[in-house]
Chains A and B, each alone.
Chain A
């Protein structure tokens, strides 16, 4: 070991160069990985900020599907799902559920009659600590084929250029199915009369290791009653919430959980494309909703219905959306929890 006179040893240019280069390259690699130098990367922040309404986001609220109401209930599995998936949640039994009825808009003050899309989030809990979360909507297909296209559509929608949406739809004819549904579908008088669809595909893995790509739907057991268009606008701004409170008070409300298996060449990666109607569909159980609670202090308020929280036996597929939704939901969740003081809780934290 050279022990003599280190202190007087000059710092050579060469040494400085080696140290500087090492640290510089490492820092650059880190910054690049973090996307601070790559403004074109599709980050979850971009999607979340593109969702914000013209007046800015509603602080403390979900960045989309901002208006909603909590429910509690059970998922009663009939055992039929075990053919397709080894998840314990498909074994005959009753599993607790926390969920949320919502409407698809970034503004929590949106009047219910204005809602183009209605949604339902569920969190089904297995005794093993595993969970199945899903956020579904009543549209038969999604509006965009990829997260990138979805961002472009949001930007076109927010653009001051009146032709932006038209230009987008010329490049993306696949949005027509959704657009014509949004324009013309019958509005029912209740969430309990709506069918909610996963839209995205997932993979069910059986005990034998067999993999099936599936989509699922909650099919209402109440008969749909359509509100005539001219009457819809006259309904109370909160008519859906008032309706669900009333109905669940009188008796539990039920949906059948139906799982549809894709055919060999069905478009599993593109949620804008429906699968042929003759695909095998398995009735795996019933969602019972038996209690409603306002969101303000309800059990769904701080839950992110992240569609990638899945039990063993259910996995993501080649559909790019669940990952993108998970990332965007995380950002939305982080923001609204940071802004918790802005959210109109009926019992602020720290007050009995």
Chain B
């Protein structure tokens, strides 16, 4: 058994922040692309499909990471309602991260519309062609996109609440560890400095 940690592990933080950026971009691209007929519609649509599959893969990695590292405990004095909201919302985020790309992929399959990633890779259909299924999945995809954004807003509000009002350290469990105390310095140093400090080694010329 590990001792309870006070922070998420570095790979978890990296996944959290990179996926946060990707998912927020995805949601904006999603509502933006369906509201325009300009040529950027096609560019946005291609990015949306490609990023969606990237997010699906990252979400699966992230779930594995969570199983491996666990999560830092919430403050012991957290009221039940807040604890329940905090924990259940995390599972909801995981569910959305996995479900949204699959629903998007599935709805395009049901509409017999090809899914091409990065202008290169054509994905196979994952569902049979079916107009009713398409309509159902498309409405679900639209609706869950709005739900996802609303949850992100609530998530941000909750974390700011922890940071600014409760000041209970929950916010800091996920802050990037840019300045860790135990930095193994040598490999991160610029090469020219490394050469100088390592003395006799000839520098590249």
Contact = CB atoms under 8 A, between A and B. Distances in A.
Given A1-B169, A15-B160, A302-B131, A316 B31 contact: no
Interface stretch (A30-38, A174-182, A215-223, A225-233): A30-38
B77 A6 contact: yes
A134 interface: no
Interface size class of B (residues with CB under 8 A): 35 or more
Contacts of B40: 323
Nearest to B79: A7
Contact of A30 (B27, B79, B166): B27
Contacts of B41: 323-324, 326-327
A73 B156 CA distance: 55
Nearest to A129: B122
B35 A304 contact: no
B160 A42 contact: no
A132 to B, nearest CB: 11
Contact of B168 (A2, A42, A312): A2
A298 interface: no
A304 B113 contact: yes
A337 B135 contact: yes
Given A2-B168, A30-B28, A147-B37, A337 B131 contact: yes
A191 to B, nearest CB: 24
Nearest to A128: B122
A264 interface: no
B189 interface: no
B114 A22 contact: no
Given A19-B164, A34-B31, A340-B131, A3 B37 contact: no
A129 B124 contact: yes
Interface in A314-342: 316, 320, 322-324, 326-328, 330, 333-334, 337-338, 340
21 contacts: A2-B168, A7-B77, A15-B164, A30-B28, A33-B32, A35-B36, A42-B36, A44-B35, A128-B122, A129-B122, A302-B131, A312-B119, A316-B39, A322-B42, A323-B42, A324-B38, A327-B41, A334-B138, A337-B132, A338-B135, A349-B132
Given A33-B35, A316-B42, 20 more contacts: A6-B166, A7-B77, A11-B165, A12-B164, A15-B165, A22-B156, A22-B160, A23-B157, A34-B35, A43-B37, A302-B112, A308-B42, A309-B113, A323-B42, A324-B38, A327-B41, A334-B135, A337-B134, A340-B131, A349-B132
